[in-house]
Amino acid sequence: MRMSTIDKAIKSERAELKRSKRERKQNKKQGHIKLKRFFAGLFIVGSIGIVTGLGLLYGPWKNFREWLITTAMTTMTHQYYATWFYDEDVINDVLNRNKVIEIAEDTDTNMIHFASNKVTEYENEFERQILERDPKNNDYKIIEINKKKFSGYLVAVYDPARIQTVCTKQLGVSGQYLTTMAEDHDAILAVNGGGFDDPNFNSTGGSPLGVSICNWEYTSRAAYSGAGGIIGFTRDNKLILTSKVSVKEAKAKDIRDAVTFGPFLIVNGKASSVVGNGGWGTAPRTAIAQRKDGIVLFLVVDGRTASKPGADMDDLIDVLQDYGAYNAANLDGGTSSVLVVGNTIVNDPIDSTGAHKTRPISTGFIVTKDESDDGDHSVVASKLGEDED
Angle at CA 191, nearest 5°, toward 190 and 197?
Answer: 130
pLDDT at 329: 98
Sign of CA pseudo-dihedral 284, 175, 298, 136: positive
Sequence-distant (≥ 6) Cβ neighbours of residue 187 within 8 angstroms: 166, 181, 340, 366, 367, 368, 369
Q: Where are the domains of the chain?
A: 61-97, 100-380
Q: What residues does 356 pair with on adjacent strands? A: none
| Amino acid present at 72 | A
pLDDT at 56: 46
Angle at CA 354, nearest 5°, toward 353 and 359?
Answer: 70
pLDDT at 349: 94
Q: What residues does 207 pair with on adjacent strands? A: 197
What is the number of residues in the chain?
A: 389
Sign of CA pseudo-dihedral 341, 344, 345, 347: negative
Q: How far apart are CA 73 and CA 66, in angstroms?
A: 11
| Amino acid present at 313 | M
Q: Which of 129, 155, 124 is nearest to 141 (CA)?
A: 155
CA 160 to chain CA centroid, nearest Å: 24
SS3 351: coil
Q: How far apart are CA 86 and CA 91, in angstroms?
A: 6
pLDDT tens track, the chain, 389 positions: 555 666 656 666 666 666 666 666 666 666 566 655 655 555 555 555 554 444 444 555 566 666 667 766 665 555 655 676 676 777 766 776 778 999 999 999 999 999 876 777 899 999 999 999 877 777 899 999 999 999 999 999 999 999 999 999 999 889 999 999 999 999 999 999 999 987 665 667 789 999 999 999 999 999 999 999 999 999 999 999 999 999 999 999 999 999 999 999 999 999 999 988 777 888 999 999 999 999 999 999 999 998 999 999 999 999 999 999 999 999 999 999 999 999 899 999 998 788 999 999 999 999 999 877 777 888 998 888 876 55
